[in-house]
């Protein structure tokens, strides 16, 4: 039995740009073989049990050779009825789809092609650039800057210099300077409008625009990451009228995010939604200390104070393990330091009774001082280790019952993290600072530290790092300060 292989174009990135037919193929698929450029959201459309195989390529780091990918499709067609080969953009626009289809034909495997929306046309459109326009450009040329030998040698720059057609280069970011200088040398006027569009149609879309003479420099200044398109021609100037998409202030910002616990983290996801490119680095593994919470500790407390999401999460796990549930907290004052802990309580069916305006240990302690009678017993779920600021603050007027529910185990950082370039390193807790410093040995060169609040800043100060600090000690505050400090405006819509 030979299954049907559908070569499906995934579109340029925005999942909404998948075709209706492509979606139907994905929904029916028993196996999907996909690329780096195929949007991960699309994989969520597959049915349970569908085998997902990543064969993505990254410059210089080929996961699987082209011949191997083609043969993998042949093999999977022998195993399943419906196989989808999902490729970024359109199947046949520099996607090597033709080679895959030819290999399937050679092995007698039935296939169909579901064309996709190509980045070569949709990318410029999302940046406000139509590839043709009446009276401006009567055609367009899509070229790859990389041929088989990896160079520009075979391109006819003299013809490109003469034409009014819009020129679109794919896979050209690393050769941008060479492309512009070859066009100039061939006589294309230096004031010809040009743009580079990075992560087109994605939340991180960012456009640098200028002229043939200065686009390389502008792109360098803007630190645009790949994938990117280069567009040259008079149609580029239409973006002043036709741009319809506000490029987010954080578009393209490269953030290193040391994470203690869950990855992907909440901040990571929030930053990605706003277009930042986030590398989450698990600097710490969390290990529960089972049995730390006792029925007596719960029963004896008049209040419980939560200063971290992890503390709250392990508290409830252990509460349930004791055979108790939220009712065990009935009548007790529940205090949460900020939005994250409030949300955690809500996940477990509880409303926080008090949340300080300033989301810090001091803020929480002050509030509890007003709410509690002197000497009241306060349960404090926390990480194993020295007393935290809240314990010290509370000790002045209450009886603190700290329960160490979990411990942080530092993880060595992958060497890669130290090599990559980042503009910002975002620290969301003092323990993230300590673990990150232990595993990274310092901030990556050229990166600024951003801190969520005073405690985290104090931890950074121990390493002689002066961070910029969120004004509100919460994740929204982190986003705000990043937008204020790093917004890159020139060339943005
Ligand atoms: N088949 C794809 C192109 C594959 S070649 C298509 O039709 O779009 C890969 C190149 O496509 C990248 O190097 C980049 O130049 C371009 N590209 C793909 N997606 C892109 C995107 N979202 N933004 C900018 N360029 C993109």
Q: How confident is the model at residue 9 (pLDDT cuts 50, 70, 90)?
A: very high
Q: What pLDDT sits at residue 248? A: 78
CA of residue 363 to ligand 1 center, whole Å: 49
Long-range contacts of 61-66 (CB under 8 A, 24+ apart): 66/96, 66/99, 66/100
Length of the chain (residues): 493
Q: How confident is the model at residue 263 (pLDDT cuts 50, 70, 90)?
A: confident
The predicted-structure confidence for 15-45, as pLDDT tens digits, reads as follows: 999 999 999 999 999 999 998 877 777 988 8
CA 35 and chain centroid, separation: 17
CA 75 and chain centroid, separation: 33
Mean predicted confidence (pLDDT) in 89-114: 96
Local structure of residue 11 (DSSP, 8 states): B
Mean predicted confidence (pLDDT) in 128-132: 98
Mean predicted confidence (pLDDT) in 222-226: 83
Q: What pLDDT sits at residue 419? A: 65
State the average pLDDT for the chain: 91
pLDDT at 493 over 70: no
The predicted-structure confidence for 167-186, as pLDDT tens digits, reads as follows: 999 999 999 999 999 999 99
More confident residue, 491 or 210: 210
Report how many helices (DSSP H) and strands (DSSP E) the chain contains, helices first: 19, 21
Residues in CB range of 482: below 8 A, 6 or more apart: 250, 253, 255, 271, 276, 424, 426, 450
- CB neighbour burial string for 64-91, b if at least 16 within 10 angstroms, e if fewer: beeeebbebbbebbeebebbbbbbbbbb
| DSSP-derived pairing of the beta strands 303-306 and 254-260 | unpaired
- Going by CA atoms, what residue is nearest to atom 16 of ligand 1? 170
More confident residue, 264 or 351: 351
CA of residue 94 to ligand 1 center, whole Å: 8
- Using CA atoms, how far apart are residues 18 and 32, in angstroms rounded to an integer? 15
SS3 per residue for 306-369: ECCHHHHHHHHHHHHHCCCCHHHHCCCEEEECCHHHHHHHHHCCCCCCECCCCCCHHHHHHHHH
- Residue 261 CB coordination number (10 Å): 18
Nearest to 238 by CA among 132, 144, 161, 167: 132
Q: How confident is the model at residue 88 (pLDDT cuts 50, 70, 90)?
A: very high
Sheet containing 448-451: give its strands across.
Answer: 333-336, 303-306, 377-383, 399-410, 277-288, 254-260, 424-427, 448-451, 468-469
CA of residue 492 to ligand 1 center, whole Å: 21
Residues in CB range of 343: below 8 A, 6 or more apart: 309
pLDDT at 230 over 80: yes
Q: What pLDDT sits at residue 261? A: 76
Mutate to test the pocket of ligand 1, among 89, 96, 125 (most ligand atoms within 8 A of CB): 89
Is the CB of 35 inside a 6 Å radius of any atom of ligand 1? no
CA of residue 137 to ligand 1 center, whole Å: 22
DSSP assignment of 377-408, as one string?
A: EEEEEEESSSPPHHHHHHHTTSEEEEEEEEEE
Mean predicted confidence (pLDDT) in 271-294: 89
Instruction: Assess contact for 303 and 379: CB atoms under 8 A.
Output: yes
What is the token pair recorded at 73? 């499709």
Cross-strand partners of 255:
278, 424
* H or E stretch covering 209: strand 206-211
* H or E stretch covering 52: strand 51-54
Q: Is 353 a catalytic residue?
A: no
- CB neighbour burial string for 420-456, b if at least 16 within 10 angstroms, e if fewer: eebbbbbbbbbbbbbbbbebbeebbeebbbbbbbbbb
Q: What pLDDT sits at residue 1? A: 65
97 burial level (CB within 10 Å; 0-12, 13-18, 19+) = buried
Share of the chain residues as helix, strand and coil, in percent rounded to the nearest 5: 35, 25, 40
DSSP assignment of 182-206, as one string?
A: HHHHTT--TT-EEEEEESTTSTT-E
Mean predicted confidence (pLDDT) in 88-97: 94
What is the token pair recorded at 196? 């580079």
CA of residue 245 to ligand 1 center, whole Å: 19
Is the CB of 197 inside a 6 Å radius of any atom of ligand 1? yes
Q: What pLDDT sits at residue 260? A: 85
* H or E stretch covering 257: strand 254-260
Q: Which atom of ligand 1 is nearest to the CA of 116?
A: 7
- The angle that helices 309-321 and 339-347 make with each other, rounded to 10 degrees, is 20
Q: Which of 171, 332, 401, 437 is catalytic?
A: 171
Q: What pLDDT sits at residue 61? A: 55
State the greatest distance between any 2 C-alpha atoms of the chain, in Å, as a whole number: 85
pLDDT at 147 over 90: no
Q: How confident is the model at residue 293 (pLDDT cuts 50, 70, 90)?
A: very high
Q: What pLDDT sits at residue 491? A: 36
CA of residue 86 to ligand 1 center, whole Å: 14
Q: What pLDDT sits at residue 240? A: 92
Q: What pLDDT sits at residue 59? A: 47
What is the token pair recorded at 372? 């509690």
- Going by CA atoms, what residue is nearest to atom 24 of ligand 1? 228
Mean predicted confidence (pLDDT) in 197-223: 92
Is the CB of 119 inside a 6 Å radius of any atom of ligand 1? yes
Q: What pLDDT sits at residue 489? A: 39
Mean predicted confidence (pLDDT) in 87-96: 94
> In a 3-state reduction of DSSP, which class is residue 411?
coil
- Calculate what percentage of the chain has a pLDDT beyond 90: 71
- Using CA atoms, how far apart are residues 468 and 389, in angstroms rounded to an integer? 21
Mutate to test the pocket of ligand 1, among 66, 123, 143 (most ligand atoms within 8 A of CB): 123
- Using CA atoms, how far apart are residues 145 and 180, in angstroms rounded to an integer? 12
The predicted-structure confidence for 408-461, as pLDDT tens digits, reads as follows: 887 876 666 656 789 899 999 998 999 899 888 889 888 999 999 999 999 999
> In a 3-state reduction of DSSP, which class is residue 196?
strand
Q: Which of 2, 57, 64, 353 is catalytic?
A: 57
- Using CA atoms, how far apart are residues 79 and 84, in angstroms rounded to an integer? 13
Is the CB of 219 inside a 6 Å radius of any atom of ligand 1? no
> In a 3-state reduction of DSSP, which class is residue 276?
coil
Q: Is 35 a catalytic residue?
A: yes
- Going by CA atoms, what residue is nearest to atom 11 of ligand 1? 170
Is the CB of 474 inside a 6 Å radius of any atom of ligand 1? no
pLDDT at 262 over 90: no
Is the CB of 207 inside a 6 Å radius of any atom of ligand 1? no
- Using CA atoms, how far apart are residues 339 and 342, in angstroms rounded to an integer? 5
- Going by CA atoms, what residue is nearest to atom 9 of ligand 1? 171
pLDDT at 492 over 60: no
What is the token pair recorded at 193? 């409008």
Q: How confident is the model at residue 57 (pLDDT cuts 50, 70, 90)?
A: low
Q: How confident is the model at residue 63 (pLDDT cuts 50, 70, 90)?
A: low
Is the CB of 93 inside a 6 Å radius of any atom of ligand 1? yes
pTM over 0.75: no
Is the CB of 12 inside a 6 Å radius of any atom of ligand 1? yes
Opening angle at CA 413, ends 383 and 263, nearest 5 = 60
């Amino acid at each position: 039995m030979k299954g049907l292989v559908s070569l499906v174009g995934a579109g340029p990135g925005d999942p909404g740009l998948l075709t209706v037919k492509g979606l139907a193929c994905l929904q029916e698929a028993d196996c999907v073989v996909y690329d780096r450029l195929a949007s991960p959201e699309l994989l969520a459309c597959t049915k349970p049990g569908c085998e997902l195989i990543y064969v993505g390529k990254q410059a210089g780091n080929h996961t699987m050779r082209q011949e191997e990918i083609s043969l993998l499709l042949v093999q999977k067609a022998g195993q399943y009825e419906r196989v989808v080969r999902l490729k970024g953009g359109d199947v046949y626009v520099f996607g090597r789809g033709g080679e895959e289809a030819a290999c399937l034909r050679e092995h007698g495997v039935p296939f169909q092609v579901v064309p996709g929306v190509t980045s070569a046309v949709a990318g410029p459109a999302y940046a406000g650039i139509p590839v043709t326009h009446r009276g401006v450009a009567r055609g367009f040329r899509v070229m790859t800057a990389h041929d088989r030998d990896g160079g520009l040698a075979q391109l006819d720059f003299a013809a490109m210099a003469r034409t009014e057609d819009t020129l679109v280069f794919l896979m050209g970011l690393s050769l941008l300077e060479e492309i512009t200088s070859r066009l100039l040398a061939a006589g294309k006027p230096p004031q010809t409008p040009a743009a580079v569009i990075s992560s087109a149609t994605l939340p991180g879309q960012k456009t640098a625009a200028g002229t043939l003479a200065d686009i390389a420099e502008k792109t360098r200044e803007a630190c645009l990451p790949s994938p990117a398109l280069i567009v040259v021609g008079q149609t580029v100037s239409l973006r002043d009228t036709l741009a319809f998409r506000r490029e987010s202030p954080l578009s393209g910002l490269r953030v290193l995010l040391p994470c203690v616990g869950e990855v992907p983290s909440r901040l990571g996801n929030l930053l990605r939604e706003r277009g930042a490119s986030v590398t989450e680095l698990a600097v710490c593994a969390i290990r529960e200390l089972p049995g730390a919470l006792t029925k007596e500790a719960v029963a004896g407390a008049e209040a419980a104070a939560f200063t971290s999401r992890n503390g709250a999460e392990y508290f409830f796990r252990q509460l349930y393990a004791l055979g108790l549930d939220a009712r065990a907290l009935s009548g007790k004052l529940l205090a949460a330091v900020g939005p994250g802990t409030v949300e955690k309580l809500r996940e477990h069916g509880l409303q926080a009774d008090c949340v300080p305006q300033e989301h810090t240990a001091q803020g929480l302690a002050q509030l509890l001082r007003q709410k509690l009678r002197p000497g009241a017993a306060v349960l404090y779920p926390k990480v194993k280790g020295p007393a935290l600021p809240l314990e010290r603050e509370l000790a002045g007027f209450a009886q603190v019952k700290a329960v160490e529910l979990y411990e942080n185990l530092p993880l060595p950082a992958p060497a890669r993290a130290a090599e990559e370039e980042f503009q910002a390193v975002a620290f969301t807790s003092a323990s993230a600072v300590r673990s990150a410093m232990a595993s990274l040995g310092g901030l990556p060169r050229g990166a600024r530290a951003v801190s969520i609040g005073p405690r985290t800043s104090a931890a950074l100060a121990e390493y002689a790092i002066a961070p910029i600090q969120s004004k509100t000690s919460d994740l929204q505050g982190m986003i705000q300060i990043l937008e204020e400090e790093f917004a890159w405006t020139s060339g943005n819509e």
